[in-house]
Structure 1
Amino acid sequence: MDGILPVYKPVGMTSADVVSKLRYLLRMKKIGHSGTLDPSVDGVLPIALGAATKAVPALMDLGKVYTGEVTVGFATETEDLDGAEVERVSLPAPFTPAAIDAAMATLTGTITQIPPMYSAVKVNGRRLYDYARHGETVERPKRTATIYAFARTAEPVFDAVTGTQRVRFMARVSKGTYIRTLAVDLGRALGVPAVMSQLTRTQSGGFTLAQTLDLRDLDRETAPAAVAAVLRPIETVFEDVPQHALTPAEWAMVQDGRALTLPLSAPRVLLMHADVLKAVYEQAGPVYRPAIMFLANTGSEIGD
Structure 2
Amino acid sequence: MARKPKGRDISGWLVVDKPAGLTSTAVVNKVKWALEAKKAGHAGTLDPEATGVLAIALGEATKTVPYITDALKAYRFTVRFGQATNTDDAEGEVTDTSDARPTDAQIKDTLGAFLGEIMQVPPRFSAVKIDGERAYKRARDGEDFEVAARPLWVEEIVLADRPDRDTAVIEMTCGKGGYVRAVARDLGRALGCFGHVVTLRRTWSGPFDAGDGIGMETIEALARTPGLDAHLRPVEDGLADLPMVTATPEGAARLRNGNPGMVIASGVDYGEECWAAHDGQAIAVGRFRAGELHPSRVFNR
Q: TM-score, normalised by structure 1?
A: 0.89
Q: What code does the residue aligned with 1:29 have?
A: K
Aligned residue for 1:201? 202
For residues 34 and 293 of structure 1, the distance between their equivalents in structure 2, rounded to whole angstroms, comes to 19
From 264, 274, 284, the counterpart of 2:279? 274
2:55 is matched with: 46
Q: 1 CA distance for matches of 2:227 and 2:153?
A: 35
- The match for 2:69 is 60
Q: 1:34 aligns with which of 43, 47, 50?
A: 43
How far 1:207 sits from its partner (Å)?
A: 1.3
Q: Report the counterpart of residue 4 of structure 2 in structure 1.
A: none
Take 1:123 and 1:5, find their aligned partners in 2: how far apart are those partners? 32
Alpha-carbon spacing, 1:70–1:129, altered in 2? closer, same or farther (3 Å): same
Quote the sequence identity (%): 34
- Does residue 244 of the first structure (1) align with residue 245 of the second (2)? yes
- Is the Cα contact below 8 Å between 1:66 and 1:171 reproduced in 2? yes
Q: Check if 1:6 corresponds to 2:9.
A: no
Consecutive unaligned residues of structure 1, counting only runs of 5 or more, are 159-164, 298-304
What is the CA deviation profile of residues 264-291 of structure 1, one whole-angstrom value per residue up to 9, with x for unaligned ones?
Answer: 3441332223321111121246643112
Counterpart residue type for residue 175 of structure 1: K
User: Do the aligned partners of residues 152 and 29 (structure 1) sit closer, same or farther apart at CA in structure 2, a change above 3 Å counting?
Assistant: same
Unaligned runs of 5+ in 2: 1-9
Which of 27, 34, 57 is the aligned partner of 1:18?
Answer: 27
> Partner of 1:87: helix, strand, or coil?
strand
Q: 1:120 aligns with which of 114, 127, 145?
A: 127
- Distance of aligned partners of 1:20 and 1:155 in 2 relative to their CA distance in 1, 3 Å threshold: same
Counterpart Cα distance in 2 of 1:148 and 1:221: 37
* 1:4–1:232 Cα contact (<8 Å) kept: yes
Cα shift at 1:88: 0.8
Change (3 A) 1:254 1:226: same
Q: For residues 223 and 102 of structure 1, do their structure 2 counterparts lie closer, same or farther at Cα, with a shift above 3 Å needed?
A: farther
Q: CA deviation at 1:156?
A: 4.9
Q: Check 1:218–1:234 CA distance in 2 against 1; reply closer, same or farther (3 A cut).
A: closer
The number of residue pairs the alignment matches comes to: 288
CA RMSD for the aligned pairs? 1.8
Q: Distance in 1 between matches of 2:106 and 2:222?
A: 54
The 3-state SS of whatever aligns with 1:62 is coil
Of structures 1 and 2, the one with the larger relative CO (CA 8 A, separation 6+) is 1
